[in-house]
């Protein structure tokens, strides 16, 4: 039997190696939606890799975009992968309209 936190090859496993979390954004990501999303992001970042799914987004508040950038930076500092997958056209348009394309480029997938 292997000691806890050890792989069969003897390498130590961190929590980031064993868990990841996916968070689906709602259609309307406005100020009312930020608190629950923030709470999910905080829990997810502590667990490891985070994939935020943005396909359903029809409208997104500026504050929500900045919150996602802050979460991505926190994940990076914790050495955890962070991405936004399948962002809708509305999400991408908001990013471009606000001049945040450069900041989102490293985390946008698909």
The answer to whether 56 and 84 are in contact (CB under 8 A) is: no
pLDDT of residue 110: 76
**pLDDT 10s digits, 46-102:** 889 999 999 999 999 999 999 999 999 999 999 999 999 999 999 999 999 999 999
Domain ranges of the chain: 20-109
DSSP for 28-47, written as a single string: EESHHHHHHHHHHHHHHHHH
Find the mean pLDDT for residues 40-49. Answer: 93
Which CATH architecture best describes the domain 20-109? 2-Layer Sandwich (3.30)
Residue 16 reports pLDDT greater than 60? no
Split at pLDDT 50, 70, 90, the class of 20 is: confident
Split at pLDDT 50, 70, 90, the class of 3 is: very low
Residue 83: in which H helix or E strand, if any? strand 82-85
Rounded-to-integer distance, Cα 50 and Cα 71, Å: 10
């Amino acid at each position: 039997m292997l000691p806890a936190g050890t792989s069969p090859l003897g390498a130590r496993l961190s929590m980031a190696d064993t868990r990841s979390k996916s968070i689906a954004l709602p259609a309307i990501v406005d100020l009312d939606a930020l608190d629950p999303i923030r709470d999910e992001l905080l829990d997810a970042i502590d667990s490891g890799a985070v994939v935020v799914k943005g396909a359903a987004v029809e409208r997104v508040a500026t504050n929500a975009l900045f919150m996602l950038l802050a979460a991505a930076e926190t994940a990076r500092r914790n050495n955890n992968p962070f991405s936004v997958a399948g962002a809708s056209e509305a999400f991408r348009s908001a990013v471009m309209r606000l001049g945040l394309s450069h900041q989102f480029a490293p985390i946008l997938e698909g």
